[in-house]
Structure 1
C-alpha cells in the first residue's frame, strides 16, 4: 500500500492503470479480475464503466467501480469519502483542501449502493481472492443503503482532487 506521509496516517491504493473497485468483503472470492474463461472478464466489465462511478453485480450484491482515471485513492471516514489524488504538491496540501472541496463540489448523478458490510478497495485487474498481493484498503461500512456521488474539484492552481462520497440513506 502506498503511503505518502507518516506511516499509518493515510493509506493510499494505486492501480496498474485501470479502475479501482470496492468489492463487499462478503463476495470478494466472486470477483475474478482480469482472469476467467469468459469472453468478457470482470476487469473488462469494470473498464466499460463510463464516468467516475458505476456499480457492477458481484455474487448477490454489487461492487463500486471508481472509473475515469487511475488516481491514487484513500478513504477518509471522517468525510465518508474516497479522495482521489489527481494533482497536488503534497499529501498535506491535498488533505487540507478536503473541507472546501466538499463544500464547493458540483456532484454528478447519485447512485444507490446496498452493501452487506465492509468493502475492500483494490485494482480491478486482480481477482478478489488475490487482492492481498496488491495495494488494498479495507473500508468499514455499516450494512445498508448508501447514496454514492462523485465530483472533480480544482482546489487551487496546482491541486485537483476527485471525490466519491458515500452518504448513508434511511433503511
Structure 2
C-alpha cells in the first residue's frame, strides 16, 4: 500500500513568510505577486485576508488564499484537503492524524470557489507567470464550484494542523 510519507509521493510547499495562494492555471499570468506599480500589490491583498481561507479576484476568476499562518502545505487528493503543518514530530505523525482530524474538525466559515480546472499553489509574493522558478504545486481540480472551509485540529498531543477542505458541489 502506498502511503503519503514515501519519498516523492507528497510535496510540501512553503512560503517566505506570507500567505500561500492557489490560482487557477487559466489566470496565473494575471497574478502580479509583490510586483507592480499600484499602491497595494496582489501580495498585499493576499496579506489582508484575515481568515484561514479567503477568495481574491484574479483576471476573470478567483484565487484561494490560505491565510492564518505560513505553514508548510500539501494537498491530499484522497481527502480533498490541503494539510497545513503547524506542529508534528514527523511527516508520518502529521499524516497519521489527518483521518481523525477530518472526523472531529470544527469547521469555520465556508466560501464557494469556482474553478475552471487545475490550480497552482505557491507563495503569494511570486508573480503567477514565474511559478516555474519557485516552489509550486499543481492541483488537478475538476472544473466546478467548490465549498471551501478550514479547521484547526490537534489529533495528538504534539501534532497540530490546519485542514482546508475542498468539496465539489453538484450543479
TM-score interval (norm. to shorter)? over 0.9
* Structure 2 alignment gaps of length 5 or more: none
CA distance in 2, matches of 1:9, 1:43: 30
2:8 aligned partner = 8
1:76-155 to 2 correspondences below 5 Å: 76-155=76-155
CA distance in 2, matches of 1:23, 1:66: 11
2:66 aligned partner = 66
2:41 aligned partner = 41
SS class of match (1:164):
strand
CA distance in 1, matches of 2:139, 2:132: 14
Shift of 1:75: 0.2
Shift of 1:157: 1.1
What TM-score, normalized by structure 1, do the two folds share?
Answer: 0.96
What TM-score, normalized by structure 2, do the two folds share?
Answer: 0.96
* Structure 1 alignment gaps of length 5 or more: none
2:24 is equivalent to residue 30 of structure 1: no
Instruction: Give the number of aligned pairs.
Output: 168
CA distance in 1, matches of 2:5, 2:170: 36
CA distance in 1, matches of 2:157, 2:98: 15
CA RMSD of aligned residues (A): 1.0
